[in-house]
Structure 1
């Protein structure tokens, strides 16, 4: 009974301290600091610092990789039985999946797709698979090449439906003839759209295709429906954490603690501008065109911007212009600089090349 009383007292004390801390925390003044005020470093400098970080637990990770190598023969058997291999777990799986492909799949053709890239042409992938399968069939058959049935037309001129039919057809009649497609980050930005995932699922269901893929996003299974998972991909899930840094995969994403590149700044500005009204976009274009045509000036005076926009019927009053400028300043699209003669001037904090690219993006 005494112990229960002490536990109740401790629990009560913890609860009281928790609510007291919340009360004191809410009573203080809110910080006026902004995320934009953080003194971030240059992206190249940060990447160089990251690359110099010494790896830890190398021996333990090496032992872990060796334990996965004992499963290679089992994974090949699963592929030959018609299953797809889906690797998940913390850490980059790129190196060890490629080691599996280079050591255990030497009897088959292997095509590698890097899903962590920003853009991937899925049709080019399918064409490469078809060509690899055709070369593999010609190599395995004992029939002289002149007696082989000729491909009706080059693979690169065929439609997606014809290519998928070939990969699933009887032209490659060897029972053990298949091409393996290795997809690093099948949940990556270049493969994440619905249409590409549908093509990948149909591809995985072809009789002469086997797929080995990795995922790193916890929401990756939401990309697939029940049919895709159990009938087309036919996944065998393997939990294979490697604890290896995502060095290669991370090269194609901007670092949070670094200054963004010009490309990233243009992309961010485009997204923001697309969320604004057409009139607001037109006002921004006026300012951008003035800045590009007067690169030596310190900015565009506010009353000049008002006059031009009023003449083009983009605004009806100074109040309307001020509302647009407030949106621009809140999103850090536009900054105010004090001119040498004392008047306030507006300028866009982008280089000329980035500004040209932004205007092209807006015009699309």
Structure 2
């Protein structure tokens, strides 16, 4: 190799090294500049111009879900399994449905189609708060009626009334279901639970009560789960002995319309209207008398904004005057319902007596009363 060729080769190698060094230097320089710019960024999430929740939900409701025909066809395909699911229930098992997509329509269609010979009670586990005791009371009443029909008990005999059931604790009610209604054969009550892994049912106490209901010989549970960690709610005894689950993978790919109502939208602003709307949805699930009692409390709070709350005896007097309650026990049952749903709180007045108040702003209360009509 001559000298000129050697020098040319050396220059080419040196150029390649400089080019490679240039690439690496630019890469690390870009990384450094990028990290420094991110550290110095002054942008905040609070500065985003959020949309009103009602406007955003109205826009979301206008979005047509994709592949509606495919979803409907998939739901129809599950109808072939209804007879099998009913057979599994009659054998003493519980049904647990899992898979992507809302299973609310599927479970309700199964209940209205295949469970027409049985009493069905529905629990919407996706609600923000749930009171389990009324469910147990309803089951006890239904099974007691079935006992009367089977034994042909005369109306003169002593039987527990709804008010007597309401005075019992959940533990006593579950004991009654286990011990006193054993003779009701092949006439069980079906408990349909949408989202048994919902926010209001994830605590250990609620799951224990549901498990004890499920292991009653006259109760069958049909439930759905959507959270990936839902099985962690139960231990081995609850799964195999109490709930006695029979698992079914039933993906529907249906949108979570009903389940998503109570979850705040990320791009929506938290306004008084949003708080009022959530409270309205909860109150509309209660009976008219309970709504009227709540209105009395809300009107008093709006008229006495500087007061610490409404004394309990004052509320009772006003409700008696309007013929909304007949006794203190009835009023207390309404107040317990409000507390369970997070619509009522109590605090000590300066003179020592307990005062009741609604944890909402005046603007939200006005909007709530307007929505309730």
Q: Is this a same-fold pair by TM over 0.5?
A: yes
2:91 corresponds in structure 1 to 81
Match 2:245 to one of 235, 241, 246: 235
Does residue 215 in structure 1 map to residue 215 in structure 2? no
Report matched runs for 1:296-307 at 5 Å: none
Cα deviations by residue, 1:95-149 (Å, 9 ceiling, x for unpaired): 110110111011110100111111111111100111122223444x2x4341897
2:200 is paired with a residue whose SS is coil
1:211 is paired with a residue whose SS is strand
1:51 corresponds in structure 2 to 61
1:210 is paired with a residue whose SS is strand
Does residue 151 in structure 1 map to residue 179 in structure 2? no
CA offset at residue 354 of structure 1? Answer: 7.4
CA offset at residue 263 of structure 1? Answer: 8.5
Alpha carbons of structure 1 residues 146 and 119: separation in structure 2 relative to 1, 3 Å: same
Does residue 188 in structure 1 map to residue 198 in structure 2? yes
Query: 2: CA distance between counterparts of 1:23 and 1:245?
Result: 44
Cα deviations by residue, 1:264-289 (Å, 9 ceiling, x for unpaired): 889xxxxxxxxxxxxxxxxxxxxxxx
* CA RMSD in angstroms, aligned pairs only: 2.9
Cα deviations by residue, 1:299-345 (Å, 9 ceiling, x for unpaired): xxxxxxxxxxxxxxxxxxxxxxxxxxxxxxxxxxxxxxxxxxxxxxx
Does residue 353 in structure 1 map to residue 343 in structure 2? no
Alpha carbons of structure 1 residues 352 and 120: separation in structure 2 relative to 1, 3 Å: closer
2:48 corresponds in structure 1 to 38
2:35 corresponds in structure 1 to 26
1:237 is paired with a residue whose SS is strand
Query: 2: CA distance between counterparts of 1:85 and 1:48?
Result: 35
Which stretches in structure 2 are left out of the alignment for 5+ residues? Answer: 1-23, 277-304, 307-359, 366-373
1:166 corresponds in structure 2 to 176
CA offset at residue 75 of structure 1? Answer: 0.7
CA offset at residue 234 of structure 1? Answer: 0.9
TM-score w.r.t. length of structure 1: 0.64
Alpha carbons of structure 1 residues 264 and 224: separation in structure 2 relative to 1, 3 Å: farther
Question: How many residues are aligned here?
Answer: 255
Alpha carbons of structure 1 residues 352 and 121: separation in structure 2 relative to 1, 3 Å: closer
1:198 corresponds in structure 2 to 208
CA offset at residue 174 of structure 1? Answer: 2.9
Q: Is the 8 A contact 1:137 1:172 kept in 2?
A: no
CA offset at residue 221 of structure 1? Answer: 1.4
CA offset at residue 158 of structure 1? Answer: 2.2
Alpha carbons of structure 1 residues 264 and 230: separation in structure 2 relative to 1, 3 Å: farther
TM-score w.r.t. length of structure 2: 0.62
CA offset at residue 22 of structure 1? Answer: 6.0
2:143 corresponds in structure 1 to 133
Does residue 103 in structure 1 map to residue 113 in structure 2? yes
Which stretches in structure 1 are left out of the alignment for 5+ residues? Answer: 1-15, 267-291, 294-350, 357-364
1:320 corresponds in structure 2 to none
Cα deviations by residue, 1:173-219 (Å, 9 ceiling, x for unpaired): 13212101111111112212111111111111111111011111111
1:92 is paired with a residue whose SS is coil
Does residue 122 in structure 1 map to residue 135 in structure 2? no
Say which is worse superposed, 82-91 or 128-137, in terms of deviation.
Answer: 128-137
Match 1:112 to one of 99, 109, 122: 122
Alpha carbons of structure 1 residues 55 and 205: separation in structure 2 relative to 1, 3 Å: same
CA offset at residue 28 of structure 1? Answer: 4.3
Alpha carbons of structure 1 residues 148 and 97: separation in structure 2 relative to 1, 3 Å: farther
